[in-house]
Amino acid sequence: MIRIELTENEQPIDYPLPAELGGLLAESGIVTAAPSISPGMWTVAPAGKVGVARLRDVEVWIRPKIDIARLVFLIGYARDPKGWRDSPVELGTADDLVTAVAYAFARQAEQALRQGVLQGYREREDALPVLRGRIRETAQLGRRFGMAVPLEVRYDEFTVDIAENQLLRTATQVLLTLPRLTAGVRQQLHKVLLRLGDVTPLVRGRPAPPWAPTRLNGRYHVALRLAEVVLAASSFEQARGSLLTSGFLFDMPKVFEDFVCVALRDALARHGGAVRLQDREHHLDVAQRVQLRPDLVWWVAGRPVAVVDAKYKAEKPSGFPEADLYQMLAYCTALGLDRGYLVYARGNEIPNLHEVRNAGITVACHAIDLDTEPMQLLAELDQLARSLVPEHPSMAELPTDTRHESARHAGERSADVDATGVLH
């Protein structure tokens, strides 16, 4: 097994690789790879992802630039703002992402199961010789053709095979497939798996079952949030031709974008109106052939009043920041706004104002520091949200019918966030 170790944002590194494996790396999208000027060497660099991935005989480890605990907070907050604000997760002292997440999950899952495996009611459909629950009349007539037994029934079963336990078991199995875990963490994970032996694991590729925090599953909350993080990272599996790539990876631009959008959405909610994420209702041209999809649009009184785009860039690529400014100019023009907002991770762009010639449009660039403590980070975004407000009336100042209209717009766009709170 060839092991490649990189750090996000750092310079490319030359590795000795067979031409075939080098080509597979280049094709995978996990990293960038190209033949070096030195014979038999390939120049490999990060491509926005962090974690670990395998393809054939190559194992790629990419360390995040930001603190691991901060990264896990960003991922978790985008899924469940209240849960990750109120319940910080202890990640231990591990210096790599995989080990840190595995340690935290094993510890929280073990604590969750200490009082026993959670049980709950689950609806089941079955064919039984005796009546249990309710008869499914359509199925009985369509399948049994008038036969008295068996009966097609639907009933509630009190069982451990519920969504919460299925999530924990599947996350445990995923982590046990990862390399370089310590013996202690593996032992803890095996104990968790043993406790959940009667639980059905989730099928890869199918949506995870929804769960809601309640008083009854309170001891599971932190472990379940970590399980969702594990399953999100392990969902990176793709096939390109004969190439199968799998791993435990996070896409940093997507992590940053999701966090910024969710945090701003929650901050703007205090000022009224409706926030639409990945708003697809706008087009650049009159014929509506060029669709626009800004990260966040704030609506008040049935019209857009602010547009925001989040940009996480590992380095300053060619065309930066010009391409971002052109994009925001298009958004503002199509939405009829005189100001747009670009939010960067600090270190890539300093706060700035760009006034566009002959257009009456200004693009404001903001930078947030991902190395700050979570509450300070949220405070920065709350301050940014307040800077969007003075130019426009708040919901409190609008007539009642206008507030209802904006609330209706909010409901129309709720589908932009899936059951786990992940943005698309």
Confidence of residue 362 (pLDDT cuts 50, 70, 90): very high
Question: Are 338 and 266 part of one and the same domain?
Answer: yes
Average pLDDT over every residue of 11-17: 92
Residue 285 maps to a domain: yes
Looking at residue 87, its pLDDT comes to 56
Question: Are 171 and 155 part of one and the same domain?
Answer: no
Average pLDDT over every residue of 248-260: 91
Q: Which domain holds residue 269?
A: 253-416
Question: Are 219 and 265 part of one and the same domain?
Answer: no
Name the residue with higher pLDDT: 247 or 192. 192
Least confidently predicted of 176-190, 310-324, 385-399: 385-399
Question: Are 54 and 87 part of one and the same domain?
Answer: no
Residue 241 has pLDDT above 50, yes or no: no
Residue 283 maps to a domain: yes
Residue 332 maps to a domain: yes
Question: Are 155 and 276 part of one and the same domain?
Answer: no
Residue 421 maps to a domain: no
Q: Give the 3-state DSSP-derived string for the chain, with helices as H, strands as E and coil as C.
A: CEEEEEECCCCCEEEECCHHHHHHHHHHCCEEEEECCCCCEEEEEECCEEEEEEECCEEEEEECCCCHHHHHHHHHHHHCHHHHHHCCCCCCCCCCHHHHHHHHHHHHHHHHHCCCCCCEEEEEEEEECCCCCEECHHHHHHHHCCCCCCEEEEEEEEECCCHHHHHHHHHHHHHHCCCCCCHHHHHHHHHHHHHCCCCCCCCCCCCCCCCCCCCCCHHHHHHHHHHHHHHHHHCCEEEECCEEEEEEEEEHHHHHHHHHHHHHHHHHHCCCCEEEECCCCEECCCCCCCEECCCEEEEECCEEEEEEEEECCCCCCCCCCHHHHHHHHHHHHHHCCCEEEEEEECCCCCCEEEEECCCCEEEEEEEECCCCCHHHHHHHHHHHHHHHCCCCCCHHHCCHHHHHHHHHHHHHCHHHECCCCCEC
Instruction: Provide, rounded to the nearest whole percent, the portion of the chain with pLDDT above 70.
Output: 79
Total count of domains within the chain: 4
Confidence of residue 154 (pLDDT cuts 50, 70, 90): confident
Looking at residue 394, its pLDDT comes to 44
**Residue that is last in its domain, among 235, 264, 283:** 235
Residue 202 maps to a domain: yes
Confidence of residue 141 (pLDDT cuts 50, 70, 90): low
**Residue that is last in its domain, among 136, 159, 182:** 159
Looking at residue 343, its pLDDT comes to 92
Confidence of residue 93 (pLDDT cuts 50, 70, 90): low
Question: Are 30 and 172 part of one and the same domain?
Answer: no
Give the list of residues 6+ apart from residue 191 with CB closer than 8 angstroms, or none: 110
Residue 117 has pLDDT above 90, yes or no: yes
Question: Are 291 and 374 part of one and the same domain?
Answer: yes
Question: Are 141 and 205 part of one and the same domain?
Answer: no
Question: Are 271 and 322 part of one and the same domain?
Answer: yes
Question: Are 383 and 258 part of one and the same domain?
Answer: yes
Residue 244 maps to a domain: no
Question: Are 154 and 179 part of one and the same domain?
Answer: no
What are the backbone angles phi and psi of residue 30, rounded to the nearest 5°?
-70, -40
pTM equals 0.77
Average pLDDT over every residue of 167-190: 92
Residue 422 maps to a domain: no
Least confidently predicted of 12-26, 111-125, 375-389, 390-404: 390-404
Name the residue with higher pLDDT: 137 or 333. 333
* CATH number of the domain enclosing 325: 3.40.1350
Residue 362 maps to a domain: yes
Least confidently predicted of 246-250, 291-295, 300-304: 246-250
**Residue that is last in its domain, among 16, 44, 63:** 63
